[in-house]
Amino acid sequence: MLELALLFFVIALIAGALGATGVAGLTMAIAKWLVAIFLVLAVISLLL
């Protein structure tokens, strides 16, 4: 999950550098959601 978030973050950085702000915004939003899901699952696995 965290690997996908990092991948989307890198894609967002590259797209932002190339001027594709729509793609950069979308991939950054996906990366944020993936990090949030990763954190929730990590906390749940630590508690159980």
- The burial of 19, by beta-carbon neighbours within 10 Å (0-12 exposed, 13-18 middle, 19 or more buried), is given as exposed
pLDDT number for residue 21: 85
pLDDT number for residue 19: 87
**Residue 1 CB contacts under 8 Å (≥ 6 apart), including other chains:** 34, 37, 38, 41
* CA–CA gap between residue 21 and residue 29 (Å, rounded): 12
pLDDT string in tens for the chain (48-residue length): 788 888 888 999 999 999 888 888 899 998 899 999 999 999 999 998
Q: Which domain holds residue 11?
A: 2-47
> If DSSP codes are grouped into helix, strand and coil, which group holds residue 38?
helix
pLDDT number for residue 36: 92
Structure tokens at 6: 């990092």
Domain count for the chain, please give it.
Answer: 1
The model carries a pTM of 0.77
